[in-house]
Amino acid sequence: MPHKFNADRRDKIPKQKHRVNNWTEYNEGLRRRGDLTVWISEEALALWSAPPRTTPGGQPVYSDLAIELCLTFGMVFKQPLRQTQGLMRSIAGLLGMDIAVPDFSTLSRRGNGLSLSARTASKSPKPLKLVVDSTGLKIFGEGEWLEEKHQTKRNRRSWRKLHLGLDLVSGQIVCSDLTRDDVGDPTALPGLLDQVDGPLDLFLADGAYDGERTYVVLTARFGSMIKVTIPPPKNAILSPDTARNPGIRDRHIADIRTHGRMAWQKASGYNQRSRGETLMGRWKTVIGPKLKARSFENQKTEARIGVRILNRMTELGRPNFERTA
């Protein structure tokens, strides 16, 4: 049914209007996202070569930081590995840097299980407000064209599942994971929570995370005072122990039955989950809807670097909105 089918009977709610009150700083932050000096520094150049190896085996030429920097440039400017090699070679020549640039085969080989440089953890005393969501990313392989052109069935589904956790306070991605398409959202949740460093007082997710398993994991890790907002399905039923010890899910079901789903969304703050969907759209716009790497381990490295890129762009400047109407 089109959403305007019963428009004459819908409540006429005027659309909110907002404006950015730090436009000068935010505008400069947007410019800096394309600034090469943001992505390369003297510290990175000083650590370009790999440290001497103390165990038996060949001596690597490039450090993990050098490989990470090259792959980051390739993702920011959407270049394949060969073009990334040429881009880094030209940058080194323009800046007068006497450094060796890894070739495309080295970037592919070293990207398998690459250890990323440690990032400084946020020291904010405020507890995290976590929004978790997932989306599909296409990968190289047999796709829709083969199925349509030759009327053949695809041997496998050509996509991976990206799980992201966004902190509503800082706007940073605090946890991420890339899994195969057969891994469900509740199954990937414990791995995401292992990456959360600090207290958590709010957890927002869509109905795919609904279930007793999710509530047990969250309360076991962050205590019974955590606020969990997950919409139960329309046919959800109360637990047998509701009368004596109602759980978080039971209270959600009772509120929806009493006040309606729309009122529950507004009262519980569930509408803030839209920022998780915005994050997914931002990923597919800035990073892209497709993974370039062929192997699964290289794809996981690509996803981790993509998280670093989005977080770095967020650090350069965020808009501050104020409501005007």
For the chain, 325 residues long, give each residue's pLDDT as a single digit of tens.
455 556 666 666 677 788 999 999 999 999 999 888 888 888 888 889 898 888 887 888 999 999 999 999 999 999 999 999 999 999 989 888 888 999 999 999 999 989 888 776 555 678 899 999 999 999 876 555 556 666 666 555 578 999 999 999 999 999 999 999 889 999 999 999 999 988 999 999 999 999 889 999 999 999 888 999 999 998 988 888 887 888 889 999 999 999 999 899 999 999 999 999 999 999 999 999 999 998 999 999 999 999 999 999 999 999 888 888 7
* Torsion of the alpha carbons at 256, 262, 268 and 273, rounded to the nearest 10: 130
pLDDT of residue 30: 92
Strands (E), 45-107: none
pLDDT of residue 147: 62
Residues 6+ apart with CB under 8 A from 315: none
pLDDT of residue 17: 86
pLDDT of residue 239: 85
pTM of the model: 0.86
What are the chain's domains? 22-118+296-325 (no CATH), 128-291 (3.30.420)
pLDDT of residue 305: 96
CB-neighbour burial class of residue 220 (10 A; exposed 0-12, middle 13-18, buried 19+):
exposed
Buried b (16+ CB within 10 A) or exposed e, 53-75: eeeeeeebebbebbbbbbbbbbb
Question: What is the radius of gyration, based on Cα positions, of the chain?
Answer: 23
